């Protein structure tokens, strides 16, 4: 059963972020204490690019980052593919990232420790956003946490003929078709849409992730981490053999899920001590 977490030491409020001529709704989680010396985490919800909402924070690792990790966490309601396919969601997330940089003092965060994370499609957007921000050179990201990310629009050995719980091959194919439907036919899929397509991963932020051994995204996640490491980027992955997709959210009270949650928090706290990225 999904567990809803509402930590007493975390203030919750909604803000509006300018994005493409409109205001983007976002949920802001602010822990008590430590004002001005907290990392800022842009957390991107999952849902296959098709569905989902910022309030999923209450059941995911996002709340742990605020309540236990001392981070200010911003969750934007980015555009979803039923109405706004690629690249709308990516542009919304970049607007939220720029908002964090420009309002770091107001938000009580360090502008040299902006981090990005998310689960599933939000993990895919995390990787894409880190690439996009790196290439534009306007915002420096200190660390990325793309959990069981949706990275590759083409089948891998683990996403082909996968019939595991929660997310399988059929759902994966449908979600990618919706997300990419406005791209020209027969044109190469850009890496900002499907991050596994990017050849050069050098210069991207350090990375931590975990993934399930039974789920479709196992192989693309493992390959992404290995390619980051080969490019000189510090990167680490934990693979939990018996996890299906989003197992840590669907079955949070199991010993394995609690281990994954502890490992994730420990890696985040480690990153707080290791990584900064001063803004230009």
Question: pLDDT tens across 5-41, in order?
Answer: 777 899 999 999 999 889 999 999 999 987 778 999 9
Residue 4 CA: distances (Å) to CA of 74, 117, 209, 253, 268: 18, 19, 22, 12, 21
Residue 87 has pLDDT above 80, yes or no: yes
The model's pLDDT over 142-192, given as tens digits with 9 standing for 90+, comes to 999 999 999 999 999 999 999 999 999 999 999 999 999 999 988 999 999
pLDDT of residue 122: 98
Average pLDDT over residues 90-104: 98
Q: What are the backbone dihedrals phi and psi of residue 211, each rounded to the nearest 5 degrees, phi first?
A: -155, 155
Q: Which residues contact 104 (CB under 8 A, 6 or more apart)?
A: 40, 110, 111, 114
Alpha carbon distance 47, 236 (integer Å): 24
Q: Where would I find the H helices in 44-168?
A: 61-67, 88-102, 104-107, 121-136
pLDDT tens digits for range 247-267: 999 999 999 999 999 999 999
* 14 compared with 3, residue with greater pLDDT: 14
Per-residue burial over 206-223, b if 16 or more Cβ lie within 10 Å, else e, is bbbbbbbebbbbbbbbbe
> 11 with 108: CB under 8 angstroms?
no
pTM of the model: 0.97
pLDDT for the residue 1: 59
On the question of pLDDT at 3 being above 80, the answer is no
Q: What are the structural domains, with CATH classification, of the chain? A: 10-274 (3.40.50.1820)
Residue-wise pLDDT tens digits, 211-233: 999 999 999 999 999 999 999 99
Helix axes of 88-102 and 121-136: crossing angle, nearest 10 degrees: 60
């Amino acid at each position: 059963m999904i567990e809803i977490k509402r930590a007493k030491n975390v203030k919750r409020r909604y803000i509006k972020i300018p994005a493409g001529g409109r205001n983007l709704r976002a949920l802001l989680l602010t822990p008590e204490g430590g004002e001005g010396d907290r990392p800022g985490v842009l957390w991107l919800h999952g849902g296959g690019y098709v569905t989902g909402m910022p309030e999923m924070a209450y059941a995911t690792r996002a709340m742990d980052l605020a309540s236990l990790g001392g981070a200010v966490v911003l969750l934007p309601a980015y555009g979803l593919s039923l109405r706004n396919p690629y690249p709308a969601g990516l542009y919304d997330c970049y607007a939220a990232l720029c908002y964090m940089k420009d309002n770091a003092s107001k938000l009580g965060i360090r502008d040299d420790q902006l981090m990005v994370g998310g689960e599933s499609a939000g993990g895919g957007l995390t990787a894409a956003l880190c690439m996009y921000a790196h290439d534009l050179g306007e915002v420096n990201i200190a660390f990325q946490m793309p959990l069981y990310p949706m990275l590759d629009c083409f089948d891998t050995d683990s996403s082909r003929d996968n019939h595991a719980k929660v997310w399988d091959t059929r759902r994966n194919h449908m979600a990618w078709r919706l997300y990419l439907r406005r791209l020209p036919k027969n044109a190469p899929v850009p890496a900002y849409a499907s991050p596994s397509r990017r050849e050069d991963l050098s210069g991207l932020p350090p990375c931590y992730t975990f993934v399930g051994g039974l789920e479709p995204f196992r192989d693309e996640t493992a390959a992404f981490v290995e390619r980051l490491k080969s490019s000189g980027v510090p990167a680490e992955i934990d693979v939990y053999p018996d996890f299906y997709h989003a197992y840590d959210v669907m079955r949070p009270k199991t010993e394995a899920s609690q281990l994954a949650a502890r490992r994730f928090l420990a890696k985040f706290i480690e990153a707080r001590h290791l990584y900064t990225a001063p803004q230009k």
